[in-house]
Structure 1
Amino acid sequence: MRVVTTPLPDVLVFLPTPHRDDRGFFTRTFDTAIFDAAVAEHTGLSVRAADFRQDSQSRSAGGVLRGLHGRGGRGETKLVRCAHGAVQDVVVDARPDSPARGRSHTVVLDDVEFAHLLVPPGFLHGFLTLSDTADVCYRIDRPHDPTEDVGVRWDDPELAIDWRAAPESLSARDAAAGSWADLLAR
């Protein structure tokens, strides 16, 4: 498994090595030793593999955009992958003291490369489904607390995220999300 750093501090991409043959493939999707070593070497985060408490999965139709979502309070760490299909996955640094605040990074997560994206606390996260359907899996370091939910519109002009396409479907919550300026004011 390779670890790739990104232009955003503390955001990592984990790239498994699938073994393919005429029967299909086999790949390791998570390795605690590799995760812990990469986080210790490449980030300032204190999260360790043993800290993950919850695994969740979403299924989205083609053209669905989910996000941009985050958590207030102490935030949460997520390790995100696409188990089926493909998504354009986006993170935005929303940490108050970060020199990268307001900057975004995009990666395609799919069922070919099996990349995993480490989303640190204090980041917004969202994705656009690029395939007919996509199953996205989240490994999270603490239980969800809906009272800490924050969101920013996917098309906020200050963030200027380069989405591959306009979404075909949004939840009511995402359609009504506030602006980046609203989040900064809070």
Structure 2
Amino acid sequence: MNIIECNIPGPLIIEPKVFGDERGFFLETWNNAAFAQAGLNLQFVQDNHSRSKKGVLRGMHFQNPEPQGKLVRVVRGAVYDVAVDLRRSSPTFGKWTGVTLSAENKRMFWVPEGFAHGFLTLEDDTDFLYKCTAPYAPQNEASLAWDDPAVGIEWPLGDIQPQISAKDAAGLSLDKVQAFA
């Protein structure tokens, strides 16, 4: 697999080896030994799957305490996926990085603990899968405002009016979130 560092330390773009022929393709989406050899010693406790219409924006979610690391991928459709550094001690606190994930490019995105995470669906019926390092704890979940000008995420909205849940519409600004140490 090919691991690509992002513009901020922590999140990684992972390009798996894809073996294909006229019948289709095969790829490993998780291999504990291969990921450990690449420096990612991860233990996952939960797998999740969401499906969304084009223009759905989910995020920017995080849990504090009990943060989750997430290994995310798309198996149908496409998303613009974003991570925001919420570690106050980090020199990149409040900075973001984004990547397009699609069924076509088969990329994965590692979002470590201490980051807010969210995505915008770019196609209808997008299936988004993710593995988590900690279980979902609704009592610890929070949302960073997806459109906080202090963060300045450049969502590829074009003429899309994003569909946002009430919970995500109530996301907090960077100066109001309970950030990590």
SS in 1 for 2:168: helix
- TM-score when scaled to structure 2? 0.92
Which whole-Å CA distance do the structure 2 matches of 1:69 and 1:17 have between them? 30
Is 2:10 the counterpart of 1:16? no
Is 2:61 the counterpart of 1:69? yes
Amino acid in structure 2 at the alignment position of 1:180? L
Which whole-Å CA distance do the structure 2 matches of 1:125 and 1:182 have between them? 17
For residue 163 of structure 1, report the CA deviation from its aligned partner.
0.3
Which whole-Å CA distance do the structure 1 matches of 2:132 and 2:31 have between them? 15
SS in 2 for 1:183: coil
Q: Is the 8 A contact 1:60 1:134 kept in 2?
A: yes
Match of 2:163 in 1: 169
Which whole-Å CA distance do the structure 2 matches of 1:149 and 1:167 have between them? 25
Match of 2:71 in 1: 79
Q: How many residues align?
A: 178
Amino acid in structure 1 at the alignment position of 2:106? F
Larger helix proportion of the pair: 1
Which whole-Å CA distance do the structure 2 matches of 1:34 and 1:167 have between them? 40
Of 158-167 and 100-109, the range deviating more from structure 2: 158-167
Match of 2:47 in 1: 55
SS in 2 for 1:173: helix
> Could you tell me the percent identity over the aligned residues?
39
Which whole-Å CA distance do the structure 2 matches of 1:185 and 1:61 have between them? 30
Q: Is the 8 A contact 1:65 1:167 kept in 2?
A: no
Which whole-Å CA distance do the structure 2 matches of 1:107 and 1:185 have between them? 23
Is 2:124 the counterpart of 1:132? yes
Q: Is the 8 A contact 1:29 1:114 kept in 2?
A: no
Match of 1:146 in 2: 138
Match of 1:45 in 2: none
For residue 185 of structure 1, report the CA deviation from its aligned partner.
8.0
Task: Compute the RMSD of aligned alpha carbons.
Answer: 1.7
Q: Is the 8 A contact 1:67 1:152 kept in 2?
A: yes
Q: Is the 8 A contact 1:94 1:102 kept in 2?
A: yes
Is 2:126 the counterpart of 1:107? no
For residue 167 of structure 1, report the CA deviation from its aligned partner.
4.0
Match of 1:89 in 2: 81
Match of 1:182 in 2: 176
For residue 17 of structure 1, report the CA deviation from its aligned partner.
2.2
Distance 1:167 1:138, change over 3 A: farther
Amino acid in structure 2 at the alignment position of 1:64? V
SS in 2 for 1:19: strand
Which whole-Å CA distance do the structure 2 matches of 1:132 and 1:149 have between them? 27
Is 2:2 the counterpart of 1:27? no
SS in 2 for 1:147: helix
Amino acid in structure 2 at the alignment position of 1:168? P
For residue 184 of structure 1, report the CA deviation from its aligned partner.
5.7
- TM-score when scaled to structure 1? 0.89
Which whole-Å CA distance do the structure 2 matches of 1:177 and 1:52 have between them? 27
Which whole-Å CA distance do the structure 2 matches of 1:138 and 1:73 have between them? 20
